[in-house]
């Protein structure tokens, strides 16, 4: 029972660790994962290339690990940003009430209703230089990583904001908050010291559940060629050429998809289990 509950979390931890150990494995085996070698394209798995090589002769196993760094990194970054943004907006709306609440929640509802992926595609295609980012920075290797994380965060804070608002509305009326008010504690301090710690439970579960969706979003965008830009690998953009490769080298499209699937599944499992534990309706079982 215990083991089953910790298994998904354990897999995530192991995968993350493995991905971020990629440079160590790379130097230990003496292969450069970015080095294209057209003489050794589409090699089958061997002692040197554990999972074979891709269309440019690069080691698939190492590319998967580096891709995992990017995919998981974007997911953690975006989830953190969406969580902070959602909590901030939800807490502000719930605590301030009145017009502020109405405007913020109207915005949230609108964003929930909009088709996210088409919007994301438009946003991802924006020219950073026209937004005032210098040409050097716009061309930098890791810029697509931060851009995608930011964009996904901008579109996925809505559920979190609603949750944070609902909890804040309840807490605002509670005796301890009113007591703090009566003692003359400022609004900022009340939000930070009295309300925030009490909504962290709810928010962190929701963030865990959101990570899965974020990994999926990043993988779709990168698969379409609008997300993480090569040569930086991500599990999504490693599938971009899958349709051309599936006739002769179908194994290449199995690995990245499998890793996306497993990591999203583990996050959803963990989130679901946490949610079940916090849901008062499930108390009757115990």
Partner 1 sequence: MTPDILLPRLLQAFLTLLILSFLVYTLIGLMPGDPVDLMIAGNPNMTAEDAARLREIHGLDRPLLLRYGSWLAAAAAGDLGYSRLYGLPVLEVIGPRVINTVLLMGISLLLTVAVAVPLGVFAACRKNRAADRIIGFFCLAGISLPAFWLGLLLMALFSVKLGWLPAGAALESADVKIRALSMVMPVMTLTLAGMAIYIRHLRSAMIDALRADHIRTARAKGCSEPRVVWNHAFRAALPPLVTIFMLDLGTLVGGAMTVETVFAWPGMGKLMFDAVMGNDYNLALCGFLVLAACVLAANMLADILYTVLDARVAAGGKA
Interaction site with partner 1 (CB under 8 A): 110, 112-119, 121-123, 125-127, 130-131, 212, 216, 219-220, 223-226, 239, 242-243, 246-247, 250, 253-254, 257, 260-261, 264-265, 267-269, 272, 285
Q: Toward partner 1, which CB reaches closer, 51 or 191? A: 51
Smallest separation, CB 231 to partner 1 (Å): 20
The residue assigned the tokens 């009145």 is 98
Cβ at position 64, least distance to partner 1 in Å: 14
SS3 53: strand
> Least separation, in Å, of the C-beta of 59 and partner 1?
22
What is the nearest approach in angstroms of partner 1 to the Cβ of residue 89?
Answer: 18
Q: How far is CA 144 from the centre of its chain?
A: 14
Burial class (CB in 10 A: 0-12, 13-18, 19+), 213: buried
Q: What six digits make up the tokens of 113? A: 């209703």
Closer to partner 1 by Cβ: residue 188 or 286: 286
Residue whose CB is less far from partner 1, 32 or 279:
279
Closer residue to partner 1, CB minimum distance, 91 or 217: 217
**For residue 40, with 0-12 CB atoms within 10 Å meaning exposed, 13-18 middle and 19 or more buried, which class applies?**
middle
- The least CB distance from residue 261 to partner 1, in Å, is 6
Q: How far apart are CA 274 and CA 280, in angstroms?
A: 12
Distance, in Å, from the CA atom of 130 to the CA atom of 24, rounded to the nearest integer, reads 39
């Amino acid at each position: 029972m215990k083991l089953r509950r910790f298994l998904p979390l354990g897999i995530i931890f192991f995968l993350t660790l493995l991905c971020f150990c990629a440079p160590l494995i790379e130097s230990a085996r003496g292969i450069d994962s970015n080095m294209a070698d057209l003489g050794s394209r589409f090699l089958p798995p061997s002692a040197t290339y554990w999972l074979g090589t891709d269309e440019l002769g690069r080691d698939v196993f190492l590319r998967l690990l580096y891709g995992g760094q990017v995919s998981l990194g974007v997911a953690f970054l975006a989830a953190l940003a969406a969580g902070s943004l959602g909590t901030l907006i939800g807490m502000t709306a719930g605590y301030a009430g009145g017009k502020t609440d109405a405007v913020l929640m109207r915005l949230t509802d609108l964003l929930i209703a909009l088709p996210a992926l088409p919007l994301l595609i438009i946003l991802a295609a924006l020219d950073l230089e026209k937004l005032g980012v210098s040409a050097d920075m716009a061309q930098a290797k890791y810029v697509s990583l931060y851009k995608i994380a930011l964009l996904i965060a901008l579109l996925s804070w809505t559920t979190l904001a609603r949750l944070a608002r609902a909890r804040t509305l309840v807490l605002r009326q509670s005796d301890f908050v009113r007591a703090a008010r009566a003692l003359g504690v400022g609004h900022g301090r009340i939000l930070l010291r009295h309300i925030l710690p009490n909504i962290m439970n709810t928010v962190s579960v929701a963030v865990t559940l959101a990570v899965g969706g974020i990994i999926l979003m990043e993988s779709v965008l990168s698969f379409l060629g609008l997300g993480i830009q090569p040569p930086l690998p991500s599990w999504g953009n490693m599938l971009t050429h899958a349709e051309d490769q599936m006739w002769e080298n179908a194994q290449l499209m199995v690995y990245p998809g499998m890793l996306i699937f497993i990591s999203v599944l583990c996050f959803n499992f963990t989130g679901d289990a946490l949610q079940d534990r916090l849901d008062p309706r499930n108390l009757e079982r115990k």
